[in-house]
Structure formats: structure tokens, C-alpha cells
Structure 1
Amino acid sequence: MSTQSVSGLPPSLIISSRDMARLEALLDSPVLSRHPAALALMDELNRAEVLPPEQMPANVVTMHSQVECEDAATGEQHVLTLVYPNEADVEKGRVSVLAPVGSALLGLSVGQTIDWQAPGGRPLKLQVKAVRYQPEAAGDLHR
């Protein structure tokens, strides 16, 4: 999985301080400390700009955001909700932040694109088309 912007560099990421604290606590778990998905997420967190929840732009993917994405290769539309691992349910579009697409989506803004491999190795290029719901924008700071 990789995230890229037009310049070939990873796109900029913005994460709320609340999400950062919760994700760092999750990653401190001894079970996850050496897990490849946890290490990938930590890399994403380490390069993110951190803002207070009330300053989060409404077009940024945060935890519990519902996001519309489009596969640039096929035009296929996806609606995903970014959740913690214990809340994941792929059939309902609830994607774990520890899944490759989940950690790649976290902190992206509308218009940004991620490249990743779907299960089975098929390459996907997903563009964030809209953030349908974001807890911070909705004033739901306890979610």
C-alpha cells in the first residue's frame, strides 16, 4: 500500500488530537507492537499534522467518518466508514484503521488519492470524493 499525491510524495495528512491519542493507545498494545499493519499506521501518524478536534476541516477523513471513494481505474464507487478494529464489519462497509485501505484513508482530504492493493493483489487507485459524515464536523466529539 502506498499513498501518493500528484508530485509522487505522500499526500499531506491531518489528524485530530483526539484520534491521535486513541490510536496511539491502541498501538501501545503488546499484541500490536510488531504487527505490520500497526507499524504502517504508526508511520502515517508520525507524518500527520495534528489539530484540535474543533479545528478539523470538514473535508478530512477522521475516525468514524463515512467516506465516498471512487476507484479511478473502474469508476466503481465505495462508501466506507473508518472504524477501530473491534468495530470493523466489511459487509457493512466498516473498515478497520488497521486494514491497509483504512490506514491509508485516515487523514486524507476530499480530492486526494491513495494507491493500494485489494485482497487478491488487484491494484486500486481510490480517490476521496466526499466525506458524508465526520464526527468533528457534526459536533459529536464523544464518538
Structure 2
Amino acid sequence: MHATIHGERTLTDLDFARLSKLPGHVRPPSLAQLLASAEVTGSRAVPSDVVTMYSRVELVDVHTHRRQTLTVCYPGDAEPTAGFISVLSPVGSSLLGLKVGDVAKWLTPHGDECASQVAAILFQPEATGDYQT
């Protein structure tokens, strides 16, 4: 199971540094690819329409049009039933760095391809002046 990295991605310098040094975790290939190819910008300069760590996003499945809300988080804070999705998961790594309107694509554990459009960012820490989370 893996995420597919498509197009340009933007990471904050803080997210990039923290993800590069995740202790005790093996980075999935999709996250390693994202870290190697993403544009890195300062936390104060990241646009408010970019998915950063701890952003709460509204997704629309491109096939079923089902809506869901997820928050991209670090592994220790993951609670999938509450909508907190680890950045190490296929969904989490596929969302990070996307902009509103972009489509995230990933494979399920059974090999099914999933795709959801980022319909809105309901919360982004940097947009509220939180540059440390």
C-alpha cells in the first residue's frame, strides 16, 4: 500500500525538518519521495491553501462524491476513527503539501486505487499564526 505523489508539493521548513528526523519510524517510499522533491518554504510564507501538518481538510472522493474531513498528523497522534490520519499512512502522505483543488491518490491495503480532491482546508496552523505545531 502506498501513496502516489503527483505534481508540485509545498512543505514548511519546520514540517520538512521534523519529517526528515522522525524517530523510530521507517519512512514509506512515498514520504521519502515527497521530502526529496517538495518545495520548502518558511512557515510564515506558506499559502493558507496548502495542506501542512495538523491541517484539517475536507475531501471529496472523485468516484463516489462522498465527503470526509481528515487531519494530517504525526504517528503518535493518529486516531483514524476520529479523523486523525498519520502522515506515514498512504492517505496522509498523499495529502501533505497539496493545495485546495488538487487530487490526492493512494492505494488501499487491498490494492484499490483511491482519489479525493482537496475541497477545502478547514484549519491550517500557520494560517492562525501557529508556526510551532
Q: Which amino acid aligns with 1:12?
A: E
Structure 1 residue 125 and structure 2 residue 115: aligned?
Answer: yes
How many residue pairs get matched? 131
| Alpha-carbon distance in 2 for matches of 1:107, 1:24 | 15
Gaps in structure 2 of 5+ consecutive residues = none
TM value normalised by structure 1: 0.86
Match of 1:12 among 3, 8, 12: 8
Deviation at 1:123, TM superposition (A): 2.1
Q: What TM-score comes out, normalization by structure 2 length?
A: 0.92
In structure 1, distance between residues paired with 2:46 and 2:27:
28
Q: Which has the larger radius of gyration?
A: 1
Q: 2:79 aligns with which of 76, 89, 93?
A: 89
Structure 1 residue 36: deviation in Å?
6.0
- 2:45 corresponds, among 52, 55, 71, to 55
Q: Which residue of the partner structure matches residue 7 of structure 1?
A: none
Inter-partner Cα distance in structure 1 for 2:132 and 2:27: 29
Conservation of the 8 A alpha-carbon contact between 2:61 and 2:67: yes
Residue from 60, 64, 67 that aligns with 1:74: 64
How large is the Cα RMSD of the aligned pairs? 1.3
Q: Is 1:2 aligned to 2:9, yes or no?
A: no
Which structure 1 residue ranges, 5 or more long, are not aligned? 4-9
State the identity %. 39
1:77-96: CA deviation from partner (whole Å, max 9, x where unpaired): 11000000000000000000
